[in-house]
């Protein structure tokens, strides 16, 4: 294999990457013959360690006093695993935690992955278990201290070495890398190196034909991963792209909001033929509202609108409409039963949590409930403020992005040095932005982003 292997193990406060944190990490870099580098550290999770985790790992809260937080070792993890294959026993677990820690910092971490469980199922079929503990016993691997990161990394390395001794192991490893695209699936003129050199970051990507015409424009939080997905399955769309794509370009935005806006702007500008779903401005799915037989306002998501219903907002997909309606209900402490999104017997689930005023069991009258909805709808018709700026992440660590809304309409965006520029007025923003054209689609994109807690809002006087 041309790449080095980064064998990784972590210990955590629990099993969910979204909710839990890393408390220890160990990495060994193996070139196929010998260890060439290593790194290990306890990690302060900024929370207490559950007692059952301490029983398993032996790591206590006292041991983590003075340990670095993840952001303090993040750069080292990026550097030591650069151009390496990320190896772990049950790689999805370790990799998802590392990725999520970087996501919290506003960065994307992307590496090729190899799971030693998958490796050994292929090389040694029929074992009663492929857990690390069972493989250690099965192959008499010496381990100093199980459930500590470095000890488990060393054990995983020994397992990897056993696999690499199998005849044709390199060919088998290539087959296991299902996430990497085979050369035969790539369009003529696009080689594997081109794909692997794409960034695993947020931005917009462009497919061009042999005459440099744009044939497809897309956005993604991970450009490399999304581009790969286009060619991993044979569909009418992927076949068409395969036959016409000769060049891939991209633009990193850092901000997902700007990726959405730039994608929409460039699709309108270049009109790529493969972007059929975005050729027009139609928003076919509507959130409508009307009174039920008890006098309470409820909501429905539909393509066809009943004449007796009013429209709250319009969306390009049912999924987007459902997501916004769920947010609208939660933000305004509405009842899931009465709103029509759930169907509980008696009181709704949110009533028990104190997030519903009891319309589901008659504790809140139709008049009171409906008035709260009307007030909320008035505020949500467009934006709560006529002119404001949204400050989001940029493409670099010292860079941020700004999106301007002026007089209730999208006005443009820009990237700026967050150590040198401070926006005190709308004029300050207008001096740096690239002017954008108004479109209701752009306003809808901005509106959806307002629920993103990572985006800062600056409101300007009307």
For the annotated catalytic residues, the residue numbers are 147
**Within 231-356, where are the H helices?**
236-244, 256-270, 318-331, 336-339, 349-352
The DSSP symbol for 334 reads -
Contacts of 176-182 with C-beta under 8 Å, sequence gap 24+, read 176/114, 176/115, 176/118, 176/119, 176/122, 177/112, 177/114, 179/112, 179/113, 179/228, 180/112, 180/228, 181/228, 181/231, 181/232
φ, ψ for residue 60, nearest 5 deg: -115, 165
Helix (H) or strand (E) holding 192: helix 192-196
DSSP 392: E
> How far is residue 303's CA from residue 322's CA, in Å, rounded to a whole number?
13
Query: Can you state the angle between helices 366-380 and 318-331, rounded to 10 degrees?
Result: 120
- Intra-chain end-to-end CA distance of the chain, in Å: 62
CA–CA separation, 219 and 204 (whole Å): 4
- Phi then psi for residue 308, to 5 deg, are -90, 0
Q: Is 206 helix (H, G, I), strand (E, B) or coil?
A: strand
Beta bridge partners of 25: 10, 41
CA dihedral for 269, 273, 277, 282, sign (positive or negative): positive
Tokens describing residue 415? 């990237």
């Amino acid at each position: 294999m041309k790449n080095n292997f980064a064998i990784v193990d972590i210990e955590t406060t629990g099993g969910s990457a979204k909710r839990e944190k890393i408390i220890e990490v160990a990495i060994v870099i193996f070139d196929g013959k010998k260890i060439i580098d290593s790194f290990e550290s306890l990690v302060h999770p900024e929370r207490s360690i559950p007692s059952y985790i301490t029983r398993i790992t032996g790591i206590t809260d006292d041991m983590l006093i003075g340990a670095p937080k993840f952001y303090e070792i993040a750069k080292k993890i990026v550097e030591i695993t650069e151009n390496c294959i990320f190896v772990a026993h049950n790689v999805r677990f370790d990799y998802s935690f590392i990725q999520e820690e970087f996501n919290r910092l506003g960065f994307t971490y992307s590496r090729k992955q190899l799971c030693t469980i998958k490796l050994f199922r292929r090389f040694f079929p029929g074992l009663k278990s492929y857990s690390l503990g069972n493989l250690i016993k099965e192959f008499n691997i010496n381990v100093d201290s199980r459930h500590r990161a470095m000890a488990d990394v060393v054990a995983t390395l020994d397992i990897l070495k056993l696999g690499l001794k199998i005849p044709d192991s390199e060919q088998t490893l290539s087959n296991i890398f299902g996430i990497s695209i085979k050369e035969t699936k790539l369009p003529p003129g696009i080689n594997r190196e081109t794909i692997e050199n794409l960034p695993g970051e947020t931005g917009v990507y462009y497919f061009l034909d042999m005459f440099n015409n744009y044939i497809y424009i897309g956005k993604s939080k991970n450009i490399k991963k999304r581009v790969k997905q286009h060619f991993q399955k044979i569909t009418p769309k992927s076949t068409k792209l395969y036959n016409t794509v000769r060049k891939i370009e991209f633009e990193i935005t850092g901000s997902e909001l700007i990726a959405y806006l730039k994608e929409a702007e460039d699709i309108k500008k270049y009109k790529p033929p493969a972007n059929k779903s975005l050729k027009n401005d139609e928003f076919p799915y509507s959130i409508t509202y009307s009174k039920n037989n008890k006098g309470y306002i409820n909501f429905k998501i539909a393509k066809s609108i009943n004449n007796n219903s009013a429209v709250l907002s319009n969306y390009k997909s049912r999924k987007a409409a459902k997501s916004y309606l769920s947010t609208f209900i939660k933000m305004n402490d509405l009842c899931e039963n009465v709103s029509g999104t759930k169907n509980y017997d008696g009181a709704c689930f949110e009533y028990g949590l104190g997030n519903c005023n009891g319309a589901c069991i008659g504790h809140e009258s139709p008049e009171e409930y409906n008035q709260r909805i009307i007030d909320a709808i008035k505020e949500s018709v467009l934006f709560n403020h006529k002119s404001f700026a949204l400050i989001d992440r940029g493409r670099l660590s010292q860079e941020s992005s700004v999106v301007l809304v002026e007089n209730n309409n999208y006005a443009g965006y820009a990237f700026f040095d967050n150590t040198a520029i401070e926006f005190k007025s709308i004029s300050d923003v207008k001096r740096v932005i690239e002017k954008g054209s108004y479109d209701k689609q752009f306003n809808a994109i901005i509106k959806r982003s307002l629920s993103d807690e990572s985006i800062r809002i600056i409101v300007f006087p009307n």
